[in-house]
Amino acid sequence: MRPLYGGFATQEELDREYNAEKSVPDFGAYVKHFLDSSAAARAMLPHRTDVRYGPTKAESANIFPASAPGSPILVFIHGGYWRSLTAHVFDMVAPGPVAAGYAVVNVTYAICPAVTITEIVRQVRAAIAWTHRHAASFNGDPGRIYVAGHSAGGHLAGMAVLTEWEEEYGLPGDLIKGGIPISGLFDLRPFPATYLQPKLRLSAEEIERVSPIFHVRTASTPLVIAWGAAESGSFRTQSLDFLSAWQAAGNAGAALPIEGANHFMVLDGFMAADGLMTRTLEAMRRNVEGGVLG
């Protein structure tokens, strides 16, 4: 039998590696936690929901303004394997960064199979370009944009960092000052052999086009690549392989395995100013703005 990607012998084995919902005993409890925590964030913080950054209904963002003008911005990109969910489920990431002095732009995008992953990448890039142009409207500084994303959002954060901003958008080449992909997916070759393929409909050409690991180049953007230590080995491998490629290109990067965390616990560190992910974001910002990284 010819092995599947990563040396796995069957689709069932590969599905076990990447089916995050089945990797925990009570997925519904995590859904409730995300929904309740996001509702609490919206009740607690000034915000604007469903702000359009593009022409279609799906191209929208929930925006949590900073309290003072000229503040750094966190653009957050949600997960859902490119085929489900919206920013409303992930507003739970806003309280920590807002308390630390950030504006937060939480991005929604269209999902597969209505659109391709190539189109999702374009929409996320458009959202970041919109953020740069409209930063002042939510007390943000367009020169202080940081990006984080979870799962499929980690993939999209990787593709955003690899954007040729000056060539393609006429924006500063160092538009994104730092990135934190969390439990990201940087090599999409496994997915045609998984349960996700009927929705993703990935071709070999698109896999090449939208896998961040195939487009690594020298960049000024430092990355902290995080994953839950209790996730499957494939999430760890995806993160470490991309980090190795990133560093081999001469770029600044660090690994952050989150001890005891599964695929759904990794975002809890954004829920308070002293949470792990908020502190990681702040350490990155201080290093970048202090001239240590970037």
SS (H, E, C) 148-194: EEECHHHHHHHHHHCCCHHHHHCCCCCCEEEEEEECCCCCCCCHHHC
Q: Looking at the domain assignment, is residue 80 inside a domain?
A: yes
pLDDT at 294: 39
Q: Which helix (H) or strand (E) holds 38?
A: helix 27-44
Is residue 179 within 8 Å of 148, Cβ to Cβ?
Answer: yes
Q: Looking at the domain assignment, is residue 100 inside a domain?
A: yes
Is residue 161 within 8 Å of 221, Cβ to Cβ?
Answer: yes
Alpha-carbon separation of residue 169 from 123, 128, 205, 249, 273 (angstroms)? 13, 11, 24, 24, 33
pLDDT at 188: 97
Residue appearing with tokens 């209904």: 57
Closest listed residue to residue 60, CA positions, set 36, 32, 91: 91
SS3 54: coil
The boundaries of the domain holding residue 215 are 5-289
Alpha-carbon separation of residue 241 from 75, 180, 253 (angstroms)? 24, 15, 12
pLDDT at 291: 66
Residue 45 main-chain phi, psi, to 5 deg: -115, 140
Which residue stretches of the chain have pLDDT < 50? 293-294
Closest listed residue to residue 147, CA positions, set 119, 187, 174, 172: 174
Q: Looking at the domain assignment, is residue 162 inside a domain?
A: yes
Q: Looking at the domain assignment, is residue 267 inside a domain?
A: yes
Those residues whose C-beta lies under 8 Å from the C-beta of residue 26, and which sit 6 or more positions away, are none
pLDDT at 6: 82
CATH code of the domain containing 32: 3.40.50.1820
Q: Looking at the domain assignment, is residue 294 inside a domain?
A: no
Distance CA 109, CA 55 (A): 11
Q: Looking at the domain assignment, is residue 141 inside a domain?
A: yes
Total domain count, the chain: 1
CA atoms within 13 A on the CB side of 84: 8
Task: Work out the angle at residue 36's Cα, subtended by the Cα atoms of residues 85 and 61, and round it to the nearest 5 degrees.
Answer: 45
